[in-house]
Every structure is written in C-alpha cells, then in structure tokens.
Chains A and B, each alone.
Chain A
Amino acid sequence: MSDLITADLIDLDLTGADRHEATAKLAALLAAAGRVTDVDGFLADVRAREEQMPTGIEGGIGIPHARSTHVTAPSLAFGRAAAGIDFGSEDGPADLVFLIAAPEGGGSEHMTILASLARKLVHADFKTALREAPDAEAVAALIKQNLPG
C-alpha cells in the first residue's frame, strides 16, 4: 500500500479565489501523482459532497473530500493558505486545507487510516505543528508519524 501522503502532494503556498479553485489545485497534485484518473470527475464528486454541507471546521480547517470511482489509492493532498480560503465555517476562512480522496468501495483498512487522520485534525497541537512545519517534507513526515501502520 502506498503512503497516504508524500511531499509532492503538499502545497504550502496554496491560493485560490474560492474553495473550488483551491480544491482543484490540490486535485491536480493528486492527478499528477497518478492517484486520480479523471480530475473533473473527481472534483464533481468533491463538489457534490461540499454542496451537501460545507466541510469547513472551526479553527481554520477545510476538508473537501469524496469517495470517488476516479481515485486509485486513498490519498491526502494538503495545502497551507496564508490568505485563508472560505470553506463555509462560521468562524472564518481556512488556512489548512486537506483534500481527502478515497476510492469508491475502498477496503476498511484504508478507511481506518483516513478515520485516524480525521481524528488527528481536532487536536490543537497537531494543527499547530502543521502550521509551523518548515517545508513539504516535514509536513509529510509529521502526518505519517501521526497515522497508524
């Protein structure tokens, strides 16, 4: 099983006029790594989820995500957006954006890893460490060491 995240799936200077543009940029990283086969199809799935209920969480976090047939391996793309991007949270824009891509019908092993990632996101110290990490390698290492397996 390949790693959930690698350094080339991280954009520490993420920008975007809105959440869709930011999400599209992260999705392009997934596509470049061969983890998403059809970017437009995948983005449509993410957008459908986002329309149900915005994924922004208080504390500056956006988690666009989808289970999609266009995903080959469970993956995480991460972006840090200094300017903040609105993900529909009431307390303001998100500066930490996690794009979670899960294959449709993914095994429960994969889902367990994603679940433990989601659990980490509510820990203040994890968020602080992500904000302070110096580079993409450090972020990838930080996320990996906080996941099981």
Chain B
Amino acid sequence: MKLVAVTSCPTGIAHTYMAAEALEQAAVAAGHEIQVETQGAAGAEALDPAVIAEADAVIFAADVDVRDKDRFAGKPLVSGPVKRGINHAAEMVDEAVAKAQAAPASDTAAAVPAAPAGPKLGPGAKLRLWLMTGVSYMLPFVAAGGILIALAFVIGGAEIATKVNGGAFEGVTYEAITDPTQILNQTGIAGLMFYIGGLAFSMLVPILAGFIAFGMADRMGIAPGVVGGLIAVAVGAGFLGGLAAGLLAGAIVMALKLIKANQAFQGIMRIVVIPLVSVFVVGFIMLVVVGKPIAEAQSWLTDWLAGLSGVNAVLLGLLLGAMMGFDLGGPVNKVAYLFGVGALASGDYTVMAAVMAAGMVPPLGLALATVVRGKLFTQAERQSGKAAWLLGASFITEGAIPFAAADPLRVIPSTVIGGAVAGAVSMAFGASLRAPHGGIWVIGLIGNPGGFIVALLAGTAATCLCAIALKTAWRSEAASAADEAAMPVI
C-alpha cells in the first residue's frame, strides 16, 4: 500500500522530524511505501503531486495546521497530534491502511490533480483556493435549496411563493404562514418544499463565508465566518458581502493566531479569546463599515432608477439587466428586482419581464458554458452546471453564485453582460410578465412569450461567450491547477 504523511509541530525543529522518522520506520516495517513531508524549520520539501495522487491514504501527525491540506482532499485520512506519530506510529499506519481498504476505489482516483499543484501557491492562487473551499461547502445548499424551490414552482405554480410568504398575487391576497408546522396543511407539498428550499438558501452566504474563513484559518475561522455571513444576509450584502465576510474572518483569525500569548493566557486564547474577538470584530465591521454604506447605496440606486422613469425602455432594460447580473441576489440585484415588482404593482408589466429574463440568464449562461467548454471549469463546477439549468429556468439567479464566488473577476462581467442583453432584448420586444417570479414555469403569464424566449437565448449566449472568452484569455495556470486539487468530490 502507498501512503503519504505530513508532520508538523510548533517549533518545527524536533518533533516534526521524529514523527516523520517514526512513521517511515513503522510503514516500512509493515511492508508499505510511505513518503513524508516535514513541514518544519528546515523548509518543507513538498510531496510530488503524482505521489499524492497515487497514495492510498494520508496521515497527518501535526500540532499546527497542515499547510495546503487541500492537496489531499478526497483521500482516506488519519490525523492526530505529532506525538501520536512518534509514540504510536505503527497504530497510525495500521489505521491508514484500514481506511484505505474500506474506501471505495473511486475516491482516491477522483482526487488526482490535473497538473502539478506546487504547494507554494502565489497570492492569487491562494485566494482562489480559499474561495473554492467556501464554494465547495456551499454547493450542496445551492443544489438542495435551488431544486426544492424550482420544484415548488413546478408543482405549486407561480403563486406558491406568495402563499408561503404572504402578499398579493394576481389579485388574490394570501396570509403569510406563521406556524411552519402547519405549512403542509395550508400550502400542500409545494409550499413545504418552497419553505425548506428557502431555509437551505438562507444558509448559502453564511456557509460560503464560514468555509472561506475555514480554508484560510481552519476550524477557528468557521464561527466568525458564519456570523459575518449571517450579517451579510441581514444587511442585504449578498454573496459579495459573504466573500468579504469570509476573507475578513479568515484574516482576523490568522492574525490572532500569530499573537504570542504569555503562558497563563495561552490556554484560553484558542477557546475564548480568538472566537470572541474575531466574531465581534467581524460582526462590527460587517454591520458598521459594510452594512451602512450598502443600505445607503441601495436607497440611492432606488431613487436613481425612479428618476429614470422617462428614459428609453431598452436602455432601462439594459441597466436593470446588468444590475440583476451583477451580484446575483445581492443588494444591487435586489434594487433592480424590487424596481420590477414596483412597476408590476403600478401596472407596467414589461419591466418585470426584463428583470426576470435577466435574472434567469446568469445560471443558464454558465450552465451552457460548462457544456460548451467543460475544460475551463472544475469538475464540481461542471456538476453544478447541471443543476444550474433548472435553477436558471426557475429564475433562481443564485444558481450562478458558485461560479461567481469561485472566480468573481471573470464570471461577474459575463453575468452582467448577459443580464444586460436579456433585459434590453426583452424590453425591445415589449415582453410582459404579470408575476414577480416563477421563471419558465409562468410562461402562461408572459405577454409575447416568443420575444421573452429570444431575450433569454440572447442573454444566455452572451454570458456563455463572455465567460468562455474571459476564462480563456486570462487564465492563471496556478489557479487552474489548484482548482482540481482543491475541490473535494461531492
């Protein structure tokens, strides 16, 4: 059996190497091959990615965080303190072998890195790795929540959202469901699915933020990251706010870990001080520094849009569409959406159609791009591309977040352009819509559905082409290598 191991300890001059030696002895004694990476003061000689790819199991004997542990994602793992590696090396080797035998063969095969991912990643690649870590943990929430919401619309019709949340739809006013345990009786299975899907969706940004911070600062990052993400949701900062919260939380915990506390203080540092300080600081910054300007910018944008009422319809569609595609459910998107809903209430149905077309385009365009040029996307992205079709068709713009959060600089311009095209074309055809949501499932409520479909196709093609062009023209080799290594197989 082939094993790889990483050893590390606080000072990096003694235990790191003792554990490496002990593990090597134990593995060889038991008839296995092993290669050990000593992350110590003598400088870590990184394991060859090919060796990692071939390994049947991984052992971490480490008292400090293993660097670049994403390289080992998907492998059977035995991990313990560095002393266990010294004192009970044989036991760790046996455990690793047992785990490797229990693991399905595909697990190890899937984690093969596409290219040599050097552990010395540049800052850009490192940032991307952190973002990808957050995205990979968020993906199941997107898939579960998005598909449940989409199915709720399919089964329950466009009014299902209003039935659950309350409000008026097509002239009928619904009471909001106040007691979730009654939801099945009152709204049927579709309402129940909508409710569960909505809850799963409400965790997108907190999980994204929490696990970006986890990628940066390990377990200590999760609490401030999740709390920062919750605040991003509360202040309507969307997934971009979540990215900021996650990076901020990770950076703060990383900084706090550097503080050398005196002896008496050291124990409570990890248990109390770091969580307390990091959560408070992240929360404070998110609320005061991030939250307020966003709220102000939103009200400014809303006023600005209202002042545009006389402007050319196609231009208005272009602007609203660009806004819809910009932050995919974030503050700018919300302003555009609410502008559409407001127009709906005042009897102008064309704005809502443009807004919905633009909101459907980002997931659809990216899903198309994963089919047209799969190589530009990670395996996980290609998988989530499949769900993105359904999410896009259901006007769940959030389906594009996994793509945008992992690679904002290339993806956001694509979704903005696609949204703008869709919004402008929809306005040009004068397509109209009498419902505030529902996607393709409310096609019966759409006036000039042919024009609406043309708008969708044009926007989808624009996003797809733009994403492919940007990802092809401006591609970081280190980042793309890191991608495959980083994504745990879901």
**Contacts from A to B (Cβ < 8 Å):** 47-49, 51-53, 55, 57-58, 63, 65-67, 89-91, 98, 100, 102, 106, 108, 111-112, 114-116, 118-123
Contacts and interface: CB of A to CB of B under 8 A. Distances in A.
Given A51-B263, A53-B83, A115-B42, A67 B18 contact: no
Contact of A67 (B11, B17, B20, B260): B11
Interface of B: 9-18, 20-22, 25, 38, 40-43, 63, 81, 83, 86-87, 260, 263, 266
Nearest to B20: A119
A52 B13 contact: no
A73 to B, nearest CB: 14
A118 B15 contact: yes
B25 to A, nearest CB: 7
A111 B181 CA distance: 64
A108 B11 contact: no
Contacts of A108: 41-43
A49 B10 contact: yes
Contacts of A111: 12-13, 40-43
30 contacts: A47-B263, A48-B260, A49-B10, A51-B266, A53-B9, A55-B15, A57-B18, A57-B86, A57-B87, A67-B41, A89-B87, A91-B87, A100-B14, A102-B41, A106-B41, A108-B41, A108-B42, A111-B12, A111-B40, A111-B41, A111-B42, A112-B42, A114-B42, A115-B40, A116-B17, A118-B18, A119-B18, A121-B14, A122-B25, A123-B21
A126 B224 CA distance: 48
A115 B21 CA distance: 10
A52 B266 CA distance: 8
A78 to B, nearest CB: 13
Given A51-B266, A58-B87, A114-B42, A122 B11 contact: no
Given A49-B10, A53-B10, A53-B83, A122 B21 contact: yes
Given A53-B63, A112-B42, A102 B17 contact: no
B30 to A, nearest CB: 16
A80 B25 CA distance: 26
Nearest to A112: B42
A106 B40 CA distance: 12
B19 to A, nearest CB: 8
Interface SS of A by simple majority: mixed
B21 A119 contact: yes
A116 B87 CA distance: 18
A120 B18 CA distance: 8
A47 B43 CA distance: 24
A67 B11 CA distance: 7
Contact of A63 (B14, B22, B41): B14
The residue among A55, A115, A116, A123 with the most chain B CB atoms within 10 A of its own CB is: A115
User: 8 tightest A-B contacts by CB?
Assistant: A118-B17, A111-B42, A119-B21, A58-B87, A115-B17, A111-B41, A122-B22, A118-B14
A58 B17 contact: no
Nearest to A64: B14
A63 B15 contact: yes
Contacts of B10: 49, 52-53
A67 B9 CA distance: 13
Nearest to A58: B87
Contact of B14 (A52, A91, A114): A114
A98 B13 CA distance: 12
Nearest to A91: B87
Given A51-B263, A111-B43, 14 more contacts: A49-B11, A52-B10, A53-B10, A57-B15, A58-B86, A63-B15, A65-B13, A89-B87, A111-B13, A111-B40, A114-B41, A114-B42, A115-B42, A121-B18
Contacts of B17: 114-116, 118-119
Given A47-B263, A122-B18, A122-B25, A57 B11 contact: no
